[in-house]
Amino acid sequence: MAFNGAIGIDLGTTNSCVAVWCNDHVVVIPNNNGNRTTPSVIAFIDERMLVGDDAKRQVATNPSNTLFQAKRLIGRNFSDPIVQSDMKHWPFKVTSNGNNQPRIAIQSRGSTKHLAPEEVSAITLKKLKADAESYLDKKVTDAVVTVPAYFNASQREATINAGKIAGLNVLRVLNEPTAAAMAYEMQRAKKGVGFDFGGGTLDVSLMRVGDDVFEVIATSGDTHLGGEDFDLLLMSYCVDEFTKKHTGKAVSAPRAIQRLRIACEAAKHKLSSATTAEIVLDSLVDGIDFEATITRDCFEKMCDGLIQKTLTSISHVLEDVKMNRREVDDVVLVGGSTRIPKVQKLVSEFFGGKELNKSINADEAIAYGAAVQAFVLAGGQSQLTDALLLLDVTPLTLGVVAYGGAMSPLIKRNTTIPVQVPGVHWSIKEVFHLPLQRKTGSIVEDKLLSATRGLIRILSRNNTLVPHLKASLRPQHRHHLLTLSQPLHGVHWWMKETFNLPLQRTQPQPLLVQQL
């Protein structure tokens, strides 16, 4: 089997998938259990570590030591309201490392260990890498890893770090809806909407596809909206039903909650093809059984608010480019949550009853596109891929924040990348938070002053005008990371984009560039 060393990975909130381009087609690689997707779940039991299917099977009996949804933590601060909210629903313990970075506590080999979200994701990536190597009987070195289009820079960089920990050279972090679009064969020029609704995130991208060119025009989404949120609503409903029947009894034990979570997820899946689903749990609390019949109509009503939010993201994409919904030729569905009938119905109605494109497995489409991109970036040659051109956009506005909070945009959201914005001037007297890294041999002296919120203020010695500041998303930066350069008296200062990254690092990383 011809293989050039690069694989495509869909690192999902709930499930992950790995694929490879071989012999002019994409192969989705099964795991050691024969399944084409692998749960993004890791468990520690006694002195063993379980990953994927094996870990998910024992979550109800080992809840505090089974880790899942690491993607909802990656690249975020511990104090992030989203993290604080999610922690209430997890059976495992999340703490701060003292620098406002989340750490997941686990018991392993008789002691407590604290894992960074990147380390947890790296375990899943390492499992997918091993499955690929076993299937291909070859060493895997490179990978394209997908992320939600609306991931910010800290989340992207954390994903890259997870790849490094797993022993992978990440060729590119590719936006998930863009990867999905590459999996669909659109021979003639079309304007298509990629609707990627997975276990934890929603991405909506407007694309122009045709003649081997995949051009992203605009993107929107929600990094905290997916199938997991439907599960939580159904769990809340079941808890309410239980407490109504059994006053004074609370469904609070971690094992009971995880049993209920598993049952609600199964019921949700069944309601995509059936009109009713039974939830039956023996001895859920203090020997009391729980039974409930969930109708599709009941489920859709309780989840209507979440479904309506998906339509808001579609509207935002079209409004950004002032496009009428009737101009959209194709709507591509990706992600397991698109199987929910009400989601399909409302998306179709939004586009005037348009038939939705479901021609490829919704769970595999993203890995499929990532495999194509991995083959191309690793230097693979094929008549089917040689002419492919991918044009993506930056999903969030990038800019400079002056002391006091005013922001000056540099690169607006939905700008095609790579891009360079030259000729921006500021006076140092205005005191910007400039986290500039000095090149070796620099003769410019600066005074570093501590500022509020742990930021650093940089003042030049004589408070002179900063001559020039360029911002660019360069071609080699395939991960949507910004580079700033500042020529000053012939000395260049460089800063790799670090907005929204943790401030506690070997070198200070104050807030310079912000996303809106």
Active site positions, annotated:
10, 71, 176, 196
**Segments of 257-371 assigned E as strands:** 276-285, 288-295, 330-334
Bridge partner residues of 421 (DSSP): 471
List, in order, residues 6 or more apart from 381 with CB less than 8 Å away. none
Q: Are 189 and 210 in contact (CB under 8 A)?
A: yes
| Cis, bond preceding 39 (omega within 30 deg of 0) | no
Q: What is the DSSP string of 440-471?
A: TT----EEEEE-GGG-EEEEETT-PEEEEEEE
- Spatial distance between the Cα atoms of 322 and 344, rounded to a whole number of angstroms: 24
Q: Are 474 and 418 in contact (CB under 8 A)?
A: yes
Nearest CA among 422, 428, 418, 438 for reference residue 494:
438
What would the two tokens of residue 446 be? 């600066």
Q: Are 493 and 437 in contact (CB under 8 A)?
A: yes
Amino acid at 384: L
Burial of 446 (0-12, 13-18, 19+ CB in 10 A): middle
- CB atoms closer than 10 angstroms to residue 138: 14
Nearest CA among 27, 67, 23, 77 for reference residue 43:
67
- Spatial distance between the Cα atoms of 121 and 9, rounded to a whole number of angstroms: 12
Report the first-to-last Cα separation within the chain, whole angstroms.
46
